[in-house]
Structure formats: structure tokens, C-alpha cells
Amino acid sequence: MATTRLELRALLKSNTDQQLTGDTDQDLWLNRGEKLVIRRFMRFFPGLFRSVRTSGTTDTSGLLSLDTDVERIERIEDDSDPPVKFELIDDINDRWQKTGYYVAQYDTTNHKIRLQIMKDGAVHASKTVYWYDIALLQMPAASTGQPVIPEQWRDTIATAAAYLFYRAQGPSLASTAQYWKGEFLDEMAEAQSFYRRFHKETSYISSSDPDAGSGQVGAHTIAS
């Protein structure tokens, strides 16, 4: 069972029949595979990533400022219990009837993107909110870096990486890509089944050290 980036590199090398041998190439596909795994985990166990989320406060107009180097926002929520999830509002004409967010403006002075946060059709002003940037959810670049993903499911990162690698090679390796896709989906289904047992119960991992791979069970309901 792989626990660190170094061990995941070795596993990916094996998964790809030694086709990926250099750290740079291995890390490229591991990072892509980890993003895929994180997004799947976010669907059924977002509380897992709370230790690496970023917090901020909306202004009096309900605007939230983000650093411009944010790679991709996977989730925005408030500090209520259970937290309110803010979905992207596709049509801003609907903002007065919805709970969610949309990109409102760019702060040229502080070089920050500003999101408008809405709750029940009103601006969510002067409130603490949290966002999950995919880049900050990933394991550190060092060989000793460990993912936030629980240890028993970390091999899935190398499985996803193998699937994405073979898929990128074109039709000649389509069958191999399908094999690794099946392995990935099976592993994720197993993980989801395991964690779904805790839904609507008073348990979830409330803290997690991404470098130690540890978690503590807290008395809260898993947010979905």
C-alpha cells in the first residue's frame, strides 16, 4: 500500500509497465490522477478536506475576494452546522432566487478575483465562508509528501493516473485505458460504499494531517 508520493511513483511505474520512469513524468500523471480522485471524494465525503480548506469573509455587499492564482474551486460553503453549500450560479439573472455564487469582478488594486455569494436570493454579507482550491487539496511535491486521501485508498491515485495516461495514448491503447478505468471506478465505488455508511450518523473525519495521513473522528454529520 502506497502512502507517500515516492511510493505512488513506484506504483504508477508498475501500473504503466515501466513506461513512466522519470519523476517529472510520474508526478505529472500522479497530479492529474489525484485531482480525479479528490473530485470523486468531494462528492460523498467533502468533510475529509476541511483541514486544507481556505477561509475568508464576505464584505458588506456579499463579495468574497480570492487570490488570482486559485486553480479551480471545488466547493464553497459557510460555517453553519451542517454547512450550506454554494453552487455556481450559471445565469446571474437567477441570483435573486438562488443560493450560490458567481464571478462578479476583478479587484485591480489587490489583484484578486471577487465572487458574489448569494443565500436564499439575498447577498450573503459579512459572513465567514470556506473554499476548496484543488491545488491546495493535493499532496505536497516532495517525495515524502502524503495525500489527504485516507491511506487505504491512496493506491487509487496511481490507478487513476494509469487510466489517464493510457487514455492519452490514443486508440491503440484504448483497451488498456478501459481496464484501468474499470479498476478506478471499482475502487471508488468501494470507497464511496464505505464512507456512505457514516452519512446521517454523527461521525466523520473532522481533522486530517495531509503529511501524516491521520484523521480524528468528530461528532458531526457528513456534509454533502
Give the DSSP H or E segment for 27. helix 23-44
Encoded amino acid at 100, one letter: G
The number of beta carbons lying within 10 Å of the beta carbon of residue 206 is 15
Least confident of 15-24, 104-113, 171-180: 104-113
Check: CB of residue 188 under 8 Å from CB of residue 37: yes
pTM metric for this prediction: 0.81
Q: Is 19 exposed, middle or buried (0-12, 13-18, 19+ CB in 10 A)?
A: middle
pLDDT at 165 over 80: yes
DSSP conformation letters of 129-152: EEEEEHHHHSPPSSTT---SS-GG
State how far Cα 136 lies from the chain centre.
Answer: 9
Q: Could you tell me the pLDDT band of residue 189, with boundaries at 50, 70 and 90?
A: very high
How does pLDDT run across 84-142, given as a tens digit for each residue? 999 999 998 999 999 999 999 888 888 889 999 999 999 999 999 999 999 999 999 99
pLDDT at 81: 83
pLDDT at 199: 53
pLDDT at 172: 95
pLDDT at 198: 60
Which positions ≥6 away from 9 have C-beta within 8 Å?
A: 23, 26, 27, 30, 143
Average pLDDT, the chain: 87
Check: CB of residue 5 under 8 Å from CB of residue 139: yes
N- to C-terminal Cα distance for the chain? 28
Mean pLDDT of 144-154: 95
